[in-house]
Structure 1
């Protein structure tokens, strides 16, 4: 998958809607061989071993969120570097998850894709509302970062299964 291969609007100041992006990064693991293995899998683009998150870049007209570039929303295990949590997650058991929200000063320059403009007047508030109803019991393959990213993207831009679209576009 190339970075920012889907372009944002050509004149972003012409809209008052927020831009929405999906980004991928390596899964976190215990330091040492497990962490090296996950980084190698990410470099080889092994999709099940990637962590997905959604980024909202508020339009310049939104003054209630004075940030320079964007807000990241993601869902991950409460302790992603604990080997026992990893073993439980890989065995299919539910583990405690957490929704993280943080401001970023710039969009990632790799593995970050523009997916559309928000349907909401304030995508950040819509994302917080989505988060308030998201169950934080994480189960790999059933209720994880991919499901969270797809669900939040559907709320914000109205498209179901955006990660499948990205996978299809970048593997063909």
Structure 2
């Protein structure tokens, strides 16, 4: 299945700009029953039990790797993190950056193009100012994704837009 295309509210011209995507993956949890529950929730499309991240595909005549940016607990598989999340307590978070060879083929939506050509540098600058105390429901991967996408493309509340279009 090819990457799903989301039609953003603004003008999504790519041209020489970087393509910006949002991807969803299962939440990480401790091995055993907790991880089984998270995988099942992802399979059932339970939107609130998915981890969201931002991908930037540089525009270039030669293929280049895709950069992934996300925000998650420092140790997402620890039992302490799970308890803190359930109690809605703040836990240490980390902003991560890594490379992928290609844009994922499932649960990945193109949401537009960056406002500027140096989107990766913009994302790194954004990450340097992101508060890393994670609190599920008020300062988590959804909020990070929404704010980074808005910073890069101008699209607002992208996770909610995707949810409405995905469920519809």
Backbone CA RMSD of aligned residues: 2.2
Could you tell me the TM-score, scaled by structure 1's length? 0.90
Task: Tell me the equivalent position of 2:149.
Answer: 153
Residues 74-113 of structure 1, C-alpha deviations (whole Å, 9 max, x = no match) = 0000000001111111201000000010011011111000
Give 1:117 deviation, angstroms: 0.5
> Offset at 1:67?
7.2
Aligned residues: 165
Q: Which runs of 5+ in 2 are unaligned?
A: none
**Regions of 4+ moved over 2 Å:** 5-12, 66-69
Pair 1:130 & 2:126 matched: yes
Equivalent residue, structure 2, for 1:35: 35
TM-score (norm 2): 0.92
Equivalent residue for 2:58?
Answer: 58
Task: State the distance in 2 between where 1:11 and 1:169 align.
Answer: 20
5+ long unaligned stretches in structure 1: none
Q: Partner of 1:115 in structure 2? A: 111
Between the aligned partners of 2:95 and 2:12, the Cα distance in structure 1 is: 32
Name the structure 1 match of 2:19: 19
